[in-house]
Structure 1
Amino acid sequence: MIEGLVSQVSSWGVSILAFLFVLGVVVFFHELGHFLVARWCGVTVTTFSIGFGRELAAFVDRHGTRWRVAAIPLGGYVKFLDDANAASQPSAATPDALAPGSFHAKPVWQRALVVAAGPAANFLIAAIIYTALNAAYGVSIVSPRVDQVVAGMPAEKAGIKAGDVITEIDGWSIESFDDVVRIVTASSGRTLAISVDRNGQPLNFSVLPDLKEVPSDLGVTLKLGDIGITRVLPARVGTVVADSPAEKAGIRHGDIITAIDGAPVNSFEDLVNAVTPAAGRALSVTVDREGTKLALTITPASVEATKPDGTTVQQGRIGVSPDRPAPVSVSLLESARLGVRETYANIVQTITGIVDIVTGRQPADQVGGPILMAEVTSRVVELGWEPLLRWTALISANIGLLNLLPIPMLDGGHLVFYAAEAIRRRPLSQRVQEIGFQIGIAVVLMLVVFVNLNDLMRLGKRWLFGGG
């Protein structure tokens, strides 16, 4: 019992550290963007803070900037010479009345650059992370060929056939089957223009994806698009989660699971379908390990998943993820191109998600705050450094985009004020700016309350229905 408690506490510790790592990277580079461009523009930076509240550690550099780490690690700020709090206050003071190193003494284009530099840094660090991972690990690409078309599904009704190679969806050039999955699942009921190559002949189809509700064990229910096409890949094991039923049974990276309880397993989807309803029941598993057949016994762990109606169901998990085709080394230039492409895809997908939630295509209960982010991070960290860094890049791109929303208090709101100032050739009045910031504070506070309520309600449902 004590051993189990120690293991649980250790797991929580790793999850907390991973969450702080992800958040720390994202916040640090966001604020570093503001800081570096401010210095370049001659703005005096008095404070660079990671976190809010009580100071835990600090030092002062040779330029007089106080670098500090604070007790509440949910954000950060840079504070300029004439700012009450990180360039977030309106000012109608004239430049002549301000000190030379004052933020508000700078021309509007420089102030706009300083503000835009934070989100830009988030986008840049996301692209750099993806580029570095592509260069270090290579790129694993599943070609966008259709292996199977499900009868009665939208793809079959539209005329797509097995063997077709998807080349474009809604103007997006398709390079892998991952691109297809990403676009289709995020379609939320929009008709897609799909181009395919059929034996050298280009064909075009209009396909309206079905929507299926997919509950996760985090209590989030997504409405995902599905057109009924699949790639058939062998059930090759990629990551094996530490201390999972698969690891205890002797499953290793690269093993191919060929049968469960005598039934053939031809794809990872077959594996999932066999394991999910078998929580707590011993399964006879046949494994191909580099040509050698092995017979193993695995008892799937019982994991609670929340259904759309709030009730829960026990599902089997053995703790493995699918392996991808062997990564292929690519040049640094190609790594960078793919890194920028993935960052851009993240941004577009986030914009699409926001629009879908606002228009009601997606449920608002999937929006989460720090609690959901911490939960997802705890799952990702079990898969290793590469998935954790990719998750960090995704969060960085999303935070950069969210900061550009035209809400006063956020960077996007500042940019709207500066655009108005540039057009009018004078700042908006102090009163207008104050009203704007009051509205911005109200909106941000409502969003904070909303996302945290969503998180707490998800946790509450899991606890009320027997989860943990």
Structure 2
Amino acid sequence: MNNAPGLLLTILAFLAVIGPLVFVHELGHYLVGRWYGVKAETFSIGFGREIFGVTDRRGTRWKFGWLPLGGYVRFAGDMNPASQPDPAWMMLPAEERNRTFQAKPVWQRALVVAAGPVTNFLFAILIIAGFNLIQGQPSAAPIAGKIMPGSVAEQAGFAYGDVFRRVDGRAIGSFRDLTTYVRSHPGAPIDVAVQRGDREIAIRVTPRPVPALDEQGKPIKMGVLGIEGQLEPIGPITALRLGTEQSWRIVTMMADGLGQILTGSRSAKELGGPLSIARFSGEAASAGPGTFAYFVALISINLGFINLLPVPMLDGGHLLFYALEAVRRKPVAPQVQEWAFRSGLLLLLGLMLFATFNDLSAFGLWRGLSGLIG
């Protein structure tokens, strides 16, 4: 039976992921800019020709563009990608000029720019914290919680509430002790003693080997039974702490993955683009609201991480120039910034084309075309 999502669901799920996350990102820029008295001229979700829009009483045009792959906030005085004002800027009345982006000190401009990625991280933390608050956190007690349907644990006869006592004769003091032992024995039979009610039961089971990576990023096999520990309720503060810790782990994994690709230890073919996001959006939506919400959090972290990379045209590129301006006590020459941002645009377009090529390869398009040609 094919559970792949249809094209319509995939498109709608993709829009439901990208649209809100772009809005959250740009809202961070907008709110901090407004906090510091900068006038926002345009708040756009999507690029290209306007499909629909309204102008508020502050003169900000809120609109939707026809290409839903990003968005932007254009502040007064922010006339080009390098954030350099045009010559007419100096001719503005003092009061109006003070409401432009370029009139603000470098630290305020940096905070406005950083607010977008930071808002994406905060949004993801709130989503993950919500999961933690609803579901609770794993208990350290060596007690079986959920038994995954179709797993080797279900086939071997484990049941909810089983208390793990020993594995291959070794005492089990926590659920982590069990998972650590199981992971190191992929495909090897193990003997597990569990307490069920007033009886102790011996169960022989063979952990299913699954692909994984070790601490050095090398492929290995890891044993899995298909048993989850029990969950215990937590409060909002603990949920936020866990959400922050889990989000940070995702960021470090992304940084490690990018580093491995740059050093050649991982293939650049793993880079995906909008088509991959669309496909995974559809799959997450078809898996249920919980999976879809977690996927939104993951993409939100990804969006924040990518935007902080020190690449011109991204928020991280702007922050790099602001850091140089703070150290030099004067802005980098406009010609240098213009050259850098043009180069950054070419780099991003090249990466987008490369990622799209990878996406089409993953979909089997090139194999199909070669078959037709052959």
Q: Place the TM-score, normalised by the shorter chain, in its bin.
A: 0.7 to 0.9
Identity of aligned residues (%): 39
2:346 to 434, 439, 442: 442
Question: Residues 187 and 35 of structure 1: is their aligned pair in 2 closer, same or farther, counting only changes over 3 Å?
Answer: farther
Q: CA deviation at 1:342?
A: 1.2
Alignment of 1:3-82 (within 5 A): 11-82=6-77
RMSD between aligned alpha carbons? 3.0
Rounded to whole Å, the distance in 1 between the matches of 2:129 and 2:102 is 37
Q: Deviations over 1:234-282 (max 9, x none)?
A: 5xxxxxxxxxxxxxxxxxxxxxxxxxxxxxxxxxxxxxxxxxxxxxxxx
2:272 to 368, 371, 374: 368
Amino acid at match of 1:12: L
Rounded to whole Å, the distance in 2 between the matches of 1:149 and 1:393 is 28
Question: Residues 162 and 70 of structure 1: is their aligned pair in 2 closer, same or farther, counting only changes over 3 Å?
Answer: farther
1:454 to 350, 358, 372: 358
1:130 aligns with 2:128: yes
Q: CA deviation at 1:229?
A: 4.6
Rounded to whole Å, the distance in 1 between the matches of 2:332 and 2:183 is 58
Amino acid at match of 1:127: I
Single out whichever of 49-58 and 409-418 deviates more from structure 2: 49-58
Amino acid at match of 2:241: R
Question: Residues 232 and 113 of structure 1: is their aligned pair in 2 closer, same or farther, counting only changes over 3 Å?
Answer: same
Alignment of 1:314-353 (within 5 A): 324-325=228-229, 327-353=231-257
1:91 aligns with 2:123: no
Q: Deviations over 1:90-119 (max 9, x none)?
A: 427799666111101110000000000000
1:233 aligns with 2:226: yes
Q: Deviations over 1:43-79 (max 9, x none)?
A: 1001111011122221122211111112111100001
Aligned residue number for residue 291 of structure 1: none
Alignment of 1:251-290 (within 5 A): none
Q: Deviations over 1:11-39 (max 9, x none)?
A: 32222111111111211110000000000
Aligned residue number for residue 106 of structure 1: 104
Question: Residues 162 and 359 of structure 1: is their aligned pair in 2 closer, same or farther, counting only changes over 3 Å?
Answer: farther
Rounded to whole Å, the distance in 1 between the matches of 2:132 and 2:186 is 38
Question: Residues 97 and 338 of structure 1: is their aligned pair in 2 closer, same or farther, counting only changes over 3 Å?
Answer: farther
Amino acid at match of 1:233: G
Amino acid at match of 1:331: G
Rounded to whole Å, the distance in 2 between the matches of 1:326 and 1:14 is 34
Aligned residue number for residue 148 of structure 1: 182
Rounded to whole Å, the distance in 2 between the matches of 1:62 and 1:342 is 41
Q: Deviations over 1:427-462 (max 9, x none)?
A: 011111111112111211111111111112222156
Q: CA deviation at 1:385?
A: 0.6
Q: Is the Cα contact below 8 Å between 1:188 and 1:361 reproduced in 2?
A: no
Question: Residues 66 and 351 of structure 1: is their aligned pair in 2 closer, same or farther, counting only changes over 3 Å?
Answer: same
Q: Is the Cα contact below 8 Å between 2:183 and 2:224 reproduced in 1?
A: no
Rounded to whole Å, the distance in 1 between the matches of 2:59 and 2:10 is 36
Q: Is the Cα contact below 8 Å between 1:188 and 1:356 reproduced in 2?
A: no
Q: Deviations over 1:307-331 (max 9, x none)?
A: xxxxxxxxxxxxxxxxx45543211
Amino acid at match of 1:32: L
Rounded to whole Å, the distance in 2 between the matches of 1:349 and 1:438 is 30
Aligned residue number for residue 4 of structure 1: none
Q: Is the Cα contact below 8 Å between 1:93 and 1:104 reproduced in 2?
A: no
Aligned residue number for residue 390 of structure 1: 294
Q: Is the Cα contact below 8 Å between 2:212 and 2:222 reproduced in 1?
A: no
Question: Residues 329 and 34 of structure 1: is their aligned pair in 2 closer, same or farther, counting only changes over 3 Å?
Answer: same
Rounded to whole Å, the distance in 1 between the matches of 2:335 and 2:214 is 42
Unaligned 5+ residue runs, structure 1?
1-6, 164-180, 191-208, 212-225, 235-323
Q: Is the Cα contact below 8 Å between 1:421 and 1:427 reproduced in 2?
A: yes
Bigger helix fraction: 2
Rounded to whole Å, the distance in 2 between the matches of 1:92 and 1:417 is 15
Rounded to whole Å, the distance in 1 between the matches of 2:291 and 2:229 is 16
Alignment of 1:189-204 (within 5 A): 189=216
Aligned residue number for residue 427 of structure 1: 331
Q: Deviations over 1:99-145 (max 9, x none)?
A: 11110111000000000000000100000111122223334568433
Q: Is the Cα contact below 8 Å between 2:121 and 2:304 reproduced in 1?
A: yes
* Alignment: residue pair count: 309
Q: Is the Cα contact below 8 Å between 2:186 and 2:224 reproduced in 1?
A: no
Aligned residue number for residue 240 of structure 1: none
Rounded to whole Å, the distance in 1 between the matches of 2:186 and 2:279 is 37
Single out whichever of 396-405 and 48-57 deviates more from structure 2: 48-57
Rounded to whole Å, the distance in 2 between the matches of 1:414 and 1:396 is 20
TM-score where L is the length of structure 2:
0.75
| Secondary structure of 1:42's aligned partner | coil
Amino acid at match of 2:132: N
Q: Is the Cα contact below 8 Å between 2:251 and 2:305 reproduced in 1?
A: yes
| Secondary structure of 2:67's aligned partner | strand
Q: CA deviation at 1:149?
A: 5.8
Amino acid at match of 1:58: G
Question: Residues 332 and 434 of structure 1: is their aligned pair in 2 closer, same or farther, counting only changes over 3 Å?
Answer: same
Question: Residues 126 and 151 of structure 1: is their aligned pair in 2 closer, same or farther, counting only changes over 3 Å?
Answer: closer
Question: Residues 97 and 353 of structure 1: is their aligned pair in 2 closer, same or farther, counting only changes over 3 Å?
Answer: farther
| Secondary structure of 2:6's aligned partner | helix
Q: Is the Cα contact below 8 Å between 1:138 and 1:328 reproduced in 2?
A: yes
| Secondary structure of 2:313's aligned partner | coil
